[in-house]
Structure 1
């Protein structure tokens, strides 16, 4: 199984390093590359405009990364994370994991959540993970199976206008042939009642957000 793990410049910590598995391709987007290097991990590729690091740090990243791709910070159309995501898509991995994709900038955070839709349309499993959350997008072609973990809550939110035929098994609040429309909170704060839970739908795109009130260390 081939995975690409992207480290962006949002909220990162030791928990993110523990997500790395042998054989993963590591991508550092802007300051995310510096995070990897400072924690003893060499990015296979570092890319972005590097406007979040100083000249000395940029040179350090360029010298110590497998490949270095720099662009102008003004004359560009994509965020650093989307550049990294597009690079990952070209590698046709089995999965893409984004770390540091959430933080104080909600415009960037929401744009990164939308990248999950791009991955889904390419037929790939993609996740955003931070200290409190794990976010995925699913449709009728890619149902999800969740294992009981440190995430105590599971919330479902439509990413399309409507999501139809929702089936939940193994949850405290099961659903059968349910429908969610943007603006409804019916899918918030469910939890697993069994060691494993499955989610399936018949139409639409569904955000599945696992979360915990306690941050990972």
Structure 2
């Protein structure tokens, strides 16, 4: 039976907010040091995966003892990041949703790579988003409905060189058949005026970033 949701916990910014995101029957995956976060909060990873180069031998033993399954690899002889390995596994399980937590942090290169992983999920038809305490990031290539919640601002950034036919309804700053190109900031910091808003695009891929200060 396919899981409803898979939550990937990586080694970036994590906290109580991440634990509060967990629902009953979610599959939890610990990615490298994210696995240590899970077990030390009394949670059992369905899978702990990575090269585990950011944990000590004692911490690794703890992860191995308290995880259902562990998949480790050489930290040098590998082509994918730990998060991409975990996401690839999650996509293969065909859940209704994949949520990436702890993938934003102090390493900008890793953060940017993790945002780009949303495209890997989108290409397979997987429903995937990045979440932290102040941001939610999605990548869309078709009409999408946005719900009003605790995130105040909604920004739209082109992921492809050009995104055409952008029409917004239910937003403070509406757009009709607009085009956004890489480098444009027209889509930054919009607000919903209705309980739900709709984003429609004709071509291209668009990052939708919900955030709060």
TM-score of the two chains, using structure 2 as the length reference:
0.97
Instruction: Tell me the number of residue pairs that the alignment of Structure 1 and Structure 2 aligns.
Output: 211
Give structure 1 stretches of 5+ with no counterpart. none
2:161 is the alignment partner of 1:148: no
Of 26, 29, 34 in structure 2, the residue corresponding to residue 27 of structure 1 is 29
Deviation at 1:150, TM superposition (A): 1.1
Deviation at 1:10, TM superposition (A): 0.4
Indicate the SS of the match to 2:185: coil
Deviation at 1:96, TM superposition (A): 0.7
Q: Which residue does 1:202 correspond to in 2?
A: 202
Aligned-pair RMSD on alpha carbons? Answer: 0.8
Deviation at 1:2, TM superposition (A): 1.3
How many angstroms apart in 2 are the aligned matches of 1:115 and 1:144? 19
Q: Which residue does 1:8 correspond to in 2?
A: 10
Indicate the SS of the match to 2:100: strand
Deviation at 1:115, TM superposition (A): 0.6
Deviation at 1:153, TM superposition (A): 0.4
Q: Which residue does 2:84 correspond to in 1?
A: 82
Q: Which residue does 1:189 correspond to in 2?
A: 189
Q: Which residue does 2:72 correspond to in 1?
A: 70
How many angstroms apart in 1 are the aligned matches of 2:39 and 2:63? 8
Runs of 4+, deviation exceeding 4 Å = none
- Encode CA deviations 1:123-155: one digit per residue, 9 max, x unaligned: 111100011100000002xx2211111111000
Deviation at 1:95, TM superposition (A): 1.1
Indicate the SS of the match to 1:202: coil
Q: Which residue does 2:132 correspond to in 1?
A: 130
Q: Which residue does 1:139 correspond to in 2?
A: 141
How many angstroms apart in 1 are the aligned matches of 2:68 and 2:77? 25
How many angstroms apart in 2 are the aligned matches of 1:211 and 1:88? 25
Q: Which residue does 1:99 correspond to in 2?
A: 101
How many angstroms apart in 1 are the aligned matches of 2:23 and 2:167? 32
Indicate the SS of the match to 2:60: helix
How many angstroms apart in 2 are the aligned matches of 1:174 and 1:93? 33
How many angstroms apart in 1 are the aligned matches of 2:72 and 2:160? 34
Q: Which residue does 1:18 correspond to in 2?
A: 20
How many angstroms apart in 2 are the aligned matches of 1:70 and 1:123? 27
How many angstroms apart in 2 are the aligned matches of 1:165 and 1:95? 27
Give structure 2 stretches of 5+ with no counterpart. none
Indicate the SS of the match to 2:118: helix
Deviation at 1:54, TM superposition (A): 0.3
Indicate the SS of the match to 1:123: coil
How many angstroms apart in 2 are the aligned matches of 1:71 and 1:124? 25
